[in-house]
Structure 1
Amino acid sequence: MKPAFRAGAGEGFRAFLPLSIGLIPWAIVTGVAMQSAGLSMAQAMGMNVIVFAAVAQIGTLPLIVADAPLWLVGLTALALNLRFMIFSAAIARGFEGIGVFRRLICGYLLIDGIFAVCTDRMLREPDPDFRLGYYLAPAAWGWCLWQVSTFVGVLGADVLPRDWSLDFMAPIALLVILVSLTRQRPMLVAAATGGTASVLLQDMPLKLGVIVAILIGMIAGFLAQRALRRAEAG
């Protein structure tokens, strides 16, 4: 392990640690939701490892319970995860000089909080070993914390008192991440555009307004990112 990698790993871990605390309640809620939907422990944890995206996991649970067609479940998960296309485009330059296999691992580990914390530093750092460590250390920590906390939620679903109203924890955790993300102009444009569109399109049939709003926000974020790059290049 190269010194630059270790230095990046330490710095990245310290930067992400405060924000990572927000993963705990979000993961517990996800675990409770999967267990309450009737998934066995093996199914819940298998989904948690394979999908590793809380919004998609919770968003597709009603379809799974209703025995919806597999294509519909997959399409819904894809729509709910479209934001990662914006994230990937924005952070891509931070992986220059890093091999394909490592980039694939990093892609799997990408979550909202990691993107919010790592992007600016990675785009400014010339050393690829430092960049890789800066990303991988907090990303691996977030993955482990998520798996353990979700497991706690699955185990405790029947034990946690109903009057605790854990549902409110998820929006709070997402708000913390959203504030961090909107420090970057393309993310702010995407969030503002998508949020506005979701309100305007809330009366669309079959609740399609949310999916359309996600697409609109994603396009707005892409356009803002391209405009920012042109401004920096010019």
Structure 2
Amino acid sequence: MQSVFREAGREGFRVAFPQSIGLVPWALVTGVAMISAGFTPLQAMGMNVLVYAGVAQLGTLPLIVAGAPLWLIVLTALVLNLRFLIFSAAIAQGFRGMGAGLRLVCSYLLIDGIFAACLEKMLTQDDRQWRLGFYLTPSLWSWLLWQIFALVGVLAAGSIPKNWSLEFMATIALMVIMVPMAKMRPMIVAAAVGGGLALLLRGMPLRLGVIVAILGGIIAGILAEQWQMKRKPA
């Protein structure tokens, strides 16, 4: 049983490693941004461990700095992470036969790159220990990578040169992860509508345009999927 777990872990690490490298600039940017927002190092790392969602962290920091109401900060974080409802539903069968506690741990570790790398094998392999090793090994590696480089960003916030353009590097890293996932027409429609709305509504107060854009993209993706299914021959 242990050999199966280790074998699957090595396979999962091999598959997910290239995408995990994209976490490095994101973690650095997040660490620097939290310090720039006025967090102490302890507060920054506490948020980093509890939230473990770079997009939600970066998306709510301007609201925290602006003194926005708590309900808006929480709502923004929830909306920014709505994609994980879809990810969780899609990969749920990969955790069949596992206990509730283990599922909770795995849900905390779920991120975009892990979903993209592990989905297919998680749904097609029958051995529970194999699936667990395949998922947990790259997930724990990614979590550790994120915490280490976020800490580097926190501690080096005042000394990282601005001309390094870490924000741009982080955006490119996220695109590298997300573009391979946009293979189906509904996903492309959702991305196009969400991106377009984000640009059109960028002037809304308290960054509410981001929330509207995310909801619009999700609705557009669902409608596109329904339309595509209706066009399929019976």
TM-score by length of 1: 0.88
Q: Which amino acid counterpart does residue 108 of structure 2 have in structure 1?
A: Y
Paired position in structure 2 for 1:58 = 58
Paired position in structure 2 for 1:170 = 170
Paired position in structure 2 for 1:21 = 21
Any gaps of 5 or more consecutive residues in structure 1?
Answer: none
Paired residues of 2:8 and 2:133 also in contact (CA < 8 A): yes
Paired position in structure 1 for 2:46 = 46
Q: Distance in 2 between matches of 1:201 and 1:192?
A: 14
Paired residues of 1:41 and 1:154 also in contact (CA < 8 A): yes
Q: Deviations over 1:162-205 (max 9, x none)?
A: 23222211111111111232246664453244334434555666
Q: Deviations over 1:43-80 (max 9, x none)?
A: 00000000001111111111212222221211111111
Q: 1:48 to 1:104 in 2, by over 3 A?
A: same
Paired residues of 2:68 and 2:206 also in contact (CA < 8 A): no
Q: 1:179 to 1:144 in 2, by over 3 A?
A: same
Paired residues of 1:86 and 1:218 also in contact (CA < 8 A): no
Q: 1:65 to 1:197 in 2, by over 3 A?
A: closer
Paired position in structure 2 for 1:120 = 120
Paired position in structure 1 for 2:98 = 98
Q: Distance in 2 between matches of 1:36 and 1:204?
A: 23
Any gaps of 5 or more consecutive residues in structure 2?
Answer: none
| CA-CA distance at 1:228 after TM superposition | 9.1
Paired residues of 2:63 and 2:206 also in contact (CA < 8 A): no
Q: Distance in 2 between matches of 1:205 and 1:173?
A: 28
Q: Which amino acid counterpart does residue 47 of structure 1 have in structure 2?
A: M
Q: 1:100 to 1:196 in 2, by over 3 A?
A: same
Give the match's secondary structure for 1:143: helix
Paired position in structure 2 for 1:80 = 80
Paired residues of 1:31 and 1:154 also in contact (CA < 8 A): yes
| CA-CA distance at 1:16 after TM superposition | 0.6
Which stretch shows the higher mean deviation, 218-227 or 31-40?
Answer: 218-227
| CA-CA distance at 1:115 after TM superposition | 0.7
Q: Deviations over 1:110-144 (max 9, x none)?
A: 11111111111111112222111111110100000
Paired position in structure 2 for 1:89 = 89
Paired residues of 2:189 and 2:220 also in contact (CA < 8 A): yes
Paired residues of 1:9 and 1:138 also in contact (CA < 8 A): yes
| CA-CA distance at 1:9 after TM superposition | 1.1
Give the match's secondary structure for 1:159: coil
RMSD: 2.6
Q: Deviations over 1:27-51 (max 9, x none)?
A: 0011111111110000000000000
Give the match's secondary structure for 1:158: coil
- Percent of matched pairs sharing the same residue: 61
